[in-house]
Amino acid sequence: MTIYLTIAVIILIFVVIFQISKASEYVSTLKGDEVSRKQNNKINGFLMVVFLVLGLVGVWYCNHVLFDRTLLAHDSASVEGARVDSMLWVTLAVTGIVFLATQIVLFWFAFKYQEKENRKVFYFPHSNALEVLWTVVPAITLTVLVVIGLRNWFLFTGAPPQNAMQVEVTGKQFGWIFRYPGKDGAFGKKYYKNIDPASNTIGLIWDDQLTHDDVVTEQTMYIVKGKPVKLIIGSRDVIHDVGLSHFRLKMDAVPGIPTTLWFTPKYTTAEMKEITGNPNFVYEISCDQMCGNGHYSMKGIIEVVSQEDYDLWMAKQKPYYLSAFPDKDPENAKPAPAVAVKSTSNAEIEKPVKL
Amino acid sequence: MSNEAVLHAHSGAHDGHEDHSHEHHHQSFISKYVFSQDHKMIAKQFLITGMVWAVLGGFMSVLFRLQLGYPDSSFPWLETILGKWAKGGHITPEAYYALVTTHGTVLVFFVLTAGLSGTFANFLIPLQIGARDMASPFMNMLSYWFFFAASIVMLSSIFVETGPFSGGWTAYPPLSALGDASPGSKSGMDLWIVSMALFVVSSLLGGLNYIATVLNMRTKGMSMTRLPLTIWALFFTAVLGVLSFPVLLSGFILLIFDRNFGTSFYLSDIFINGVGALPNEGGSAILFQHLFWFLGHPEVYIILLPAMGMVSEILSVNSRKPIFGYMAMIGSLFAIAILAFLVWAHHMFVTGLNPLLGSVFVLLTLLIAVPSAIKVFNWLTTLWRGNIRFTPGMLFAIGFVSLFISGGLTGIWLGNSALDIHLHDTYFVVAHFHIVMGVASMFGMFAGIYHWFPKMYGRFLNNTLAYVHFWVTIAGAYMIFWPMHYEGLAGMPRRYYDYSIWESFKQFQDLNQFISLVAMIVFAVQFLFLFNFFYSIFRGRKVTTQNPWDANTLEWTTPINPGHGNWPGEIPEVHRWPYDYGKDGVDFIPQTTPVGADESVEH
> Which of A110, A94, A109, A104 has its CA nearest to residue A59?
A104
Q: Is residue A69 part of a domain?
A: yes
Distance between CA atoms of residues B561 and A228, nearest Å: 72
Q: Is residue A149 part of a domain?
A: no
Owning domain of residue B77: 1-9+33-222
Distance between CA atoms of residues A150 and B111, nearest Å: 37
Residues A175 and A324 in one domain: yes
**Is the pLDDT assigned to residue A340 strictly greater than 50?**
no
Interface contact A26, partner B, CB < 8 A: no
Q: Is residue B208 part of a domain?
A: yes
Q: Is residue A10 part of a domain?
A: no
Q: What is the pLDDT of residue A334?
A: 56
Residues A316 and A179 in one domain: yes
Q: What is the pLDDT of residue B21?
A: 45
Distance between CA atoms of residues A142 and B367, nearest Å: 8
B314 or B599, higher pLDDT: B314
Arithmetic mean of pLDDT, A36-49: 93
Interior angle at CA B402, CA B398 and CA B407, nearest 5: 145
Q: Which amino acid is at B529?
A: F
Say which DSSP state B114 is in.
I
Where residue A32 falls (left for φ over 0; alpha for ψ -120 to 50; beta otherwise) is left
Distance between CA atoms of residues B387 and B385, nearest Å: 7
Q: Is residue A322 part of a domain?
A: yes
Contact B343, B295 (CB under 8 A): no
Residues A237 and A171 in one domain: yes
Distance between CA atoms of residues B442 and B450, nearest Å: 12
**Is the pLDDT assigned to residue A348 strictly greater than 70?**
no
The whole-chain average pLDDT of chain A stands at 90
Q: Tell which of A114, A148, A174 closes a domain.
A: A114
Arithmetic mean of pLDDT, A82-96: 96
B351 or A345, higher pLDDT: B351
Q: What is the pLDDT of residue B244?
A: 95
**Is the pLDDT assigned to residue B446 strictly greater than 90?**
yes
Residues A174 and A260 in one domain: yes
Residues A75 and A172 in one domain: no
Those of residues 186-225 in A touching chain B at CB distance below 8 A are 192-193, 195, 197, 203
Q: Which residues of B376-407 are buried (b: 16+ CB within 10 A; e: fewer)?
A: bbbbbbbbbbbbbbbbbbbbbbbbbbbbbbbb
pLDDT single digits (tens) B565-582: 999 989 999 999 999 999
CATH of the domain at A281: 2.60.40.420
Q: Which among B175, B406, B478 is the nearest to A238, CB-wise? A: B175
Interface contact A294, partner B, CB < 8 A: yes
Contact B270, B278 (CB under 8 A): yes
Q: What is the pLDDT of residue B598?
A: 81
Pairing mode, if any, of strands A249-253 and A240-244?
A: antiparallel
Distance between CA atoms of residues B393 and A244, nearest Å: 45
* Contact at CB, B355 and A287, closer than 8 angstroms: no
B4: CB partners within 8 A, 6+ apart: B14, B15, B16, B132
Distance between CA atoms of residues B82 and B59, nearest Å: 13
**Is the pLDDT assigned to residue B433 strictly greater than 80?**
yes
Distance between CA atoms of residues A146 and B438, nearest Å: 27
Cβ-based contacts of B319 with chain A (< 8 Å): 113, 121
Helix, strand, or coil (residue B16): coil
Task: Name the burial class of residue B562, with classes exposed (0-12), middle (13-18) and buried (19+) by CB atoms within 10 angstroms of its CB.
Answer: buried
Cβ-based contacts of A249 with chain B (< 8 Å): 421-422
Q: What is the pLDDT of residue B525?
A: 95
Going by pLDDT thresholds of 50, 70 and 90, the confidence category of residue A337 is: low
B602 or B144, higher pLDDT: B144
Arithmetic mean of pLDDT, A294-301: 96
pLDDT single digits (tens) B32-69: 888 999 999 999 999 999 999 999 999 999 999 999 99
Pairing mode, if any, of strands A165-172 and A229-235?
A: parallel
Contact B284, A354 (CB under 8 A): no
Contact B311, B400 (CB under 8 A): yes
Contact B263, B311 (CB under 8 A): no
> Which of B196, B212, B451 has its CA nearest to residue B312?
B451
Cβ-based contacts of A288 with chain B (< 8 Å): 424-426, 493-494
Say which DSSP state A318 is in.
P
The whole-chain average pLDDT of chain B stands at 93
Those of residues 247-306 in B touching chain A at CB distance below 8 A are 267-273, 277, 281-286
Distance between CA atoms of residues A275 and A304, nearest Å: 14
Q: Is residue B105 part of a domain?
A: yes
- Residue ranges of alpha helices (H) inside B261-350 are 285-319, 326-339
pTM above 0.90, yes or no: yes
Q: Is residue A140 part of a domain?
A: no
Interior angle at CA B118, CA B114 and CA B120, nearest 5: 135
Cβ-based contacts of A246 with chain B (< 8 Å): 491, 504
Residues A110 and A30 in one domain: yes
Distance between CA atoms of residues A189 and A131, nearest Å: 60
Beta bridge partners of A175: A172
Q: Is residue B324 part of a domain?
A: no
Q: Is residue A139 part of a domain?
A: no
A323: CB partners within 8 A, 6+ apart: A199
Q: Is residue A303 part of a domain?
A: yes
Owning domain of residue A293: 165-330+346-350
Q: Is residue B522 part of a domain?
A: no
Interface contact A281, partner B, CB < 8 A: yes
**Is the pLDDT assigned to residue A165 strictly greater than 60?**
yes
**Is the pLDDT assigned to residue A347 strictly greater than 50?**
no
Residues A106 and A171 in one domain: no
* Contact at CB, A250 and B178, closer than 8 angstroms: no
Contact A124, B431 (CB under 8 A): no
Q: How many domains does chain B have?
A: 1
Arithmetic mean of pLDDT, B1-20: 46
φ/ψ of B472, rounded to 5, equals -70, -40
B2: CB partners within 8 A, 6+ apart: B217
Distance between CA atoms of residues A327 and A331, nearest Å: 9
* Contact at CB, A84 and B421, closer than 8 angstroms: yes
Q: How many domains does chain A have?
A: 2
Say how many C-beta atoms besides its own lie within 10 A of residue A210's C-beta: 16
Q: What is the pLDDT of residue A335?
A: 52
Those of residues 333-362 in B touching chain A at CB distance below 8 A are 350-352, 355, 358-359, 362
Distance between CA atoms of residues B500 and B509, nearest Å: 8
Residues A196 and A290 in one domain: yes
Q: Which amino acid is at B596?
A: G
A335: CB partners within 8 A, 6+ apart: none
Q: What is the pLDDT of residue B602?
A: 62
Distance between CA atoms of residues A115 and A278, nearest Å: 56
**Is the pLDDT assigned to residue B12 strictly greater than 50?**
no
Looking at beta carbons, which pairs linking A5-12 to residues 24 or more positions away fall under 8 Å? A10/B524
Going by pLDDT thresholds of 50, 70 and 90, the confidence category of residue B26 is: low
Those of residues 551-580 in B touching chain A at CB distance below 8 A are 579
Q: Is residue B497 part of a domain?
A: no
- Residue ranges of alpha helices (H) inside B133-228 are 137-157, 187-216
Interface contact A91, partner B, CB < 8 A: yes
Q: Is residue A98 part of a domain?
A: yes
Dihedral over Cα of B182, B183, B188, B190: its sign: positive
**Cα B370 → chain centroid:** 22
Using a pLDDT cut of 70, give the percent of chain B over it.
Answer: 95
Contact B576, B312 (CB under 8 A): no
Residues A66 and A183 in one domain: no
Tell me the DSSP string of A126-170. --HHHHHHHHHHHHHHHHHHHHHHHHHHHHHHSPPPTT-EEEEEE
pLDDT single digits (tens) B49-59: 999 999 999 99
Cβ-based contacts of B75 with chain A (< 8 Å): 3
**Is the pLDDT assigned to residue B11 strictly greater than 50?**
no
pLDDT single digits (tens) B504-555: 999 999 999 999 999 999 999 999 999 999 999 999 999 999 999 999 999 9
Using a pLDDT cut of 90, give the percent of chain A over it.
Answer: 76
CATH of the domain at B90: 1.20.210.10
Q: Which residues of B27-55 are buried (b: 16+ CB within 10 A; e: fewer)?
A: beeebeeeebbbbbbbbbbbbebbbbbbe
* Contact at CB, A109 and B383, closer than 8 angstroms: yes
Q: Which amino acid is at B27?
A: Q
Residues A109 and A188 in one domain: no
Q: What is the pLDDT of residue B427?
A: 97
Interchain CB contacts (distance < 8 Å): A and B? 378
Q: Is residue B122 part of a domain?
A: yes
Cβ-based contacts of B282 with chain A (< 8 Å): 256
Interior angle at CA A53, CA A45 and CA B461, nearest 5: 35
Distance between CA atoms of residues B394 and B313, nearest Å: 10
Those of residues 576-595 in B touching chain A at CB distance below 8 A are 579, 581-585
**Is the pLDDT assigned to residue A111 strictly greater than 80?**
yes
* Contact at CB, B350 and A157, closer than 8 angstroms: no
Distance between CA atoms of residues B87 and B74, nearest Å: 10
Arithmetic mean of pLDDT, A347-353: 44
pLDDT single digits (tens) B306-342: 999 999 999 999 999 999 999 999 999 999 999 999 9
